[in-house]
Structures are given as C-alpha cells and as structure tokens.
Structure 1
C-alpha cells in the first residue's frame, strides 16, 4: 500500500457573509433596501420584477500574486411600473393621429333653451 497525501477540500467563500461584510455592511444595507423596494413594487403593481447583484473581481495589480484583489458589488433593480393609461386615436388622411373618426359625419349640436315651465300630461 502506498500512502497518498490526503488533500484537504478547499474552503469556499461564503457569498452571504461576504455581501454582509462588504464595505463594513453598507453593501448589505443598500441591497436590502433595494430588495424591499422591489417587493413593494411587485405587490403594488402585480407584475414581476428583478434584482441583479453583480460581484466584480479584478486581478491583482501588476500581476503580483500576493497583491490584494479589488472586489466590487453592483446591483440593478428592474421594478415593475404601473401600466400607462392609453387613449384611442384615428388616423386622418395624412396619417396623423386625431381624436375624432375622420370617416364619421359631423353632427352640429345646438343648445336647447332652458325653461322652467312644465306641461301637465
């Protein structure tokens, strides 16, 4: 039997702990605020939303192996918005949007005279 060196599994970085401690907790606070705002918008508008968190890791400066790694965290929120109110339009002969149907005959209206006398039936 040959003794093979036992290889220790590499310790993994805990992403939740990293985000909680990044920039002394400021990143965690900002992400939590954005997440809460997203939840409110989804509940209010009944539509789906999205929060993207991007961790950016750059190589060490000048390729020095023992140099520190610059790590940044960015986030992007796509919160749902209310559905805009629409209005109906017709296209006129020039192709411009107009409120009244250009094919419809116009009827002139007159104002009726006001009266306070009523006829008994």
Structure 2
C-alpha cells in the first residue's frame, strides 16, 4: 500500500483553509527575504492524536509559523560636538553661505 500524498491532507484540512494559510505565509516570507536579502523560515507542525480511546478517529492539527528575516534598521550619519552632542553637520567644517541663482542671472554671466 502506497502512502497517500501529504498534499491531499493539507488540501482537505479545515476545508482547504490550512493550505491557503500556508500559501499566504510562504508568499509573505518570500517577499521579506527578497526585500531584506537574508534568509527566513516557514515551519509547519502537524500534530496527530487520538480523539478517544475507542473511537478510532484521529484529531489532526496544523500549526504554521513563519520566521521572516529581521529588518535591517535604517541609519543616519551624525557628528559629535566638543560637548558630545550629535549634530548632522560636521562642527569642524566651515559652513558655506549658499544662495539661489535665477536662470536669468546665470545667463548674464555667460558671454
């Protein structure tokens, strides 16, 4: 006697809801792995236990757990001041006074 394919069980378990949940979890995992560039894991645990001592029936439960990769936290660059505060501009560099030049002014300088 050959073994019945496990996909048949998953298709019938909870009228197909388990298989749908597994498919959704896998799709979300693939998206997270693609976005983060790191591996993740999808684990399905199938538990089988008797319904009663003499009933002959078995209770089957499926637990689906996804472990997507952890997101890489964003970073920013700051510089320390002499007082040990963090600021966005390097306090050791002079700041340049920048001003906006209009298109008309810029063309006058070209001769």
TM-score scaled by length of structure 1: 0.58
Question: 1:81-120 residue pairs with structure 2 within 5 A?
Answer: 81-85=70-74, 100=84
Structure with bigger strand share is 2
The answer for unaligned runs of 5 or more in structure 1 is: 1-9, 89-98, 102-106, 108-121
- SS of match in other structure, 1:71: strand
C-alpha RMSD of matched pairs (Å): 2.4
Instruction: Specify the alignment match of 1:73 in structure 2.
Output: 62
TM-fit CA distance, 1:87 = 7.6
Q: Which residue of 1 aligns with 2:4?
A: 13
Aligned residues: 81
Distance in 1, matches of 2:84 and 2:27, equals 45
Pairwise CA distance, 1:86: 5.8
Q: If the length of structure 2 is used for normalisation, what is the TM-score?
A: 0.63
The structure carrying a bigger helix percent of its residues is 2
Query: What is the alpha-carbon distance in structure 2 between the residues aligned to residue 11 and residue 68 of structure 1?
Result: 21
Any idea what the Cα deviations from partners look like across 1:75-107, whole Å, max 9, x if unmatched? 10000122124689xxxxxxxxxx929xxxxx9
How far does residue 21 in structure 1 lie from its aligned partner after superposition? 1.6
Question: Which structure has the bigger radius of gyration?
Answer: 1
